[in-house]
Homo-oligomer: A and B are copies of this chain.
């Protein structure tokens, strides 16, 4: 695999070089990755990208041609280039597993390494997790409106590049899709690839019905005929009915057969088509729909009684239409000084940009009676969270506002798991396990959080000890005139 060391912003290398010259590049630090706002105005984000991230880390090195390129810039010393030539990540990464539903402000990933490792790898690491979590989230929004209908990812031709199509297809599966048209994704990730015909097939014949007849001679299963090349209700559906009757007469009508409509008014056309199939004795014919669909249009089509039970979603899922990026950030939370760990935080004029200091964990609480999610807690590593003790959450911005959980009424689990240990990737679950886990996760979320528009917003709590630590650091920094006035 190609080295990924240059998949970074130039300033990461220029800063690392400056630290290298100061002999500070090997200082140990901890960085947190989190995001501040859910995409699409939604109530949650679905984590994806860890499999790709381990690939990225495994290939994070500087090959000869990378070093030659950096040398050609005329900026870096030979000592530094040698250092990069031998660079490998030896640190630890903890992450919330793929498929987990997460909320703004909580850690999704904790990075332990040298300053150089954190700087050089930040950009690629952020890019991968921002992108794939964004697509998984968009896909999950679409899944929430289609119920148990079939849902296919068709977006490769409009994806923002090959890797967007490839990893986007995988992310869509984590978000609840059933398959993809992307053959490379099928090969790489062992996910179902599907598809039957395009307009170019129908246009390869003089008459639509010839195209249908030839298709069913070649294929005997999953006979979804594209019915809108000329006119859905006057030509497409009658031609499909003729062909399905012919197959039925020969005892060859498969379980999965029907049409796809890729243009026109999908509500009207699907209802009429369903009626025509039913009157023709083919009530099981599947009506599949595509054409610039997203969660809003599908919800509206369903509201209007569309009979579509199989959806092909392309552009708007694979490009995350509506929120083109997830604003995940990567901020230092601790550093080692003289062998001792020091919590650090960014104190900003903009209170939303103040970060949480120290090495932290995230715990998720569920109701014991119905398994539904209650809330999440971010706390310092080492704080004891027990199911047999009462828990009190104190709102940071309004300390008089408290939430009590009675011992025995809840279950709790930590969200961060080891992903990379001393530079070596931990074995990850299979994609089928991730998909099952993702579906289970969503089932624990109250539907109020999944509404497309104006959903309920989950509050993430900070432990009292973490809140104390923040106050201490702010007070200390405020006293230091060199920093803040």
Contacts and interface: CB of A to CB of B under 8 A. Distances in A.
A25 to B, nearest CB: 10
A319 B200 CA distance: 30
A327 B158 CA distance: 7
A193 B8 CA distance: 11
A485 B206 CA distance: 15
A231 B485 CA distance: 9
Interface string A19-45: 101101001000000000000000000
A344 interface: yes
A7 B214 contact: no
Contacts of A296: none
Nearest to A12: B198
A148 interface: no
Contacts of A65: 187
Copy number in the complex reads 2
A209 interface: yes
Q: In which size bucket is the chain A interface? A: 35 or more
Interface in A115-169: 115, 118-119, 122-124, 126-128, 130-131, 134-135, 154, 156-168
B9 A183 contact: yes
Contact of A160 (B12, B21, B160, B207): B160
Interface in A345-398: 346-350, 353
A321 B319 contact: no
A123 B15 contact: no
A266 to B, nearest CB: 13
B11 A195 contact: yes
A40 to B, nearest CB: 12
Given A9-B198, A69-B187, 11 more contacts: A9-B181, A11-B181, A18-B214, A73-B193, A127-B159, A158-B326, A159-B160, A160-B168, A161-B163, A206-B482, A234-B485
